[in-house]
């Protein structure tokens, strides 16, 4: 069945460091792909999405490109901030969302 | 505007008790989903409604779990005879379209944290 695998955390970075969180998926066809973020004490919210191959989603300095050749949707940010500390979930959509296990990011100043 | 709301935010139940969790979706949203999120895991699908019709309940882990959305707006997830393995955060999400295939954003509520003792 469909599944999402993302890198284990926690990821600990200093402010202004480069971030990559790997995400790969297994699915039939070409589902839409998402990154959701969960800030401490808050609900899940959409960070970015891509609906077809080679699309790049971007928001708040984060980017991810839908790569069907490698079935990947890695999340990147060039310079992280303390306020980016959160749990990040990669997901694909069928009728419902199928999520990875989440990656905790901790950024220190 | 108001987002998705859930109540209660926290619920402690003794093993064997029945619980009812409420979700108020964004007004006018056609689709409503329930997910279960165990500690340290990603959310897992439980059930899906389109208006008042429950179109998919394949994720419900046992017949102790029951969900309804009788008027196509508010939804209730009921768990009968709770067990310790039911301890999790239960998330509700809604979206204006009829499914997630088109890449529409799902809007999540804050969740209900259920602890079964």
User: pLDDT by residue (tens digit) across A41-81?
Assistant: 888 999 999 999 999 999 999 999 999 999 999 999 999 99
The length of chain B, given as a count of residues: 117
Query: Nearest by CB to B103, which of A51, A95, A100?
Result: A51
Please answer whether residues A99 and B43 qualify as being in contact, where contact means their C-beta atoms are separated by less than 8 angstroms.
Answer: yes
Sole residue written with tokens 């509520």: B109
The predicted-structure confidence for A73-108, as pLDDT tens digits, reads as follows 999 999 999 999 999 999 999 888 999 999 999 999
Given an 8 Å threshold on Cβ–Cβ distance, is A32 in contact with B101? yes
Q: What's the confidence (pLDDT) of residue B1? A: 56
Flag whether pLDDT at B46 surpasses 70: yes
Q: Which positions ≥6 away from A80 have C-beta within 8 Å? A: A13, A15, A16, A17, A18, A19, A105, A107
Instruction: Say how far apart CA B31 and CA A68 lie, in whole Å.
Output: 28
The predicted-structure confidence for B64-114, as pLDDT tens digits, reads as follows 999 999 999 999 999 999 999 999 999 999 998 776 556 788 999 999 999
Q: What are A's interface residues with B at a Cβ cutoff of 8 A?
A: 4, 31-32, 34, 36, 42-46, 49, 51, 89, 91, 93-102
- Cα of A21 to nearest chain B Cα, Å: 15
Tokens standing for residue A18: 């480069």
């Amino acid at each position: 069945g469909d599944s999402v695998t993302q890198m284990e955390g926690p990821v600990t970075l200093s402010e202004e460091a480069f971030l990559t969180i790997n995400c790969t998926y297994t699915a039939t066809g070409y589902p839409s792909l998402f990154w959701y973020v969960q800030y401490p004490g808050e609900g899940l919210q959409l960070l970015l999405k891509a609906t077809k191959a080679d699309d790049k989603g971007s928001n708040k300095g984060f980017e991810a490109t839908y790569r069907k050749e490698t079935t990947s949707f890695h999340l990147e940010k060039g310079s992280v901030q303390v306020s980016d500390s959160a749990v990040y979930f990669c997901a694909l959509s069928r009728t419902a969302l199928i999520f990875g296990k989440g990656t905790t990011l901790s950024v220190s100043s | 505007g108001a987002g998705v709301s859930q109540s209660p935010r926290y619920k402690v139940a003794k093993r064997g008790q029945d619980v009812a969790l409420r979700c108020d979706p964004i007004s006018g949203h056609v689709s409503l989903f329930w997910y279960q999120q165990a500690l340290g895991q990603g959310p897992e699908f439980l059930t899906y409604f389109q208006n008042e019709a429950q179109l998919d309940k394949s994720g419900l882990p046992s017949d102790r779990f029951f969900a309804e959305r009788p008027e196509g707006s508010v939804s209730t997830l009921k768990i009968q005879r709770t067990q310790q393995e039911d301890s999790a955060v239960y998330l509700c999400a809604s979206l204006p379209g009829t499914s997630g295939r088109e890449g529409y954003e799902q809007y999540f509520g804050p969740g209900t944290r259920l602890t079964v003792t």
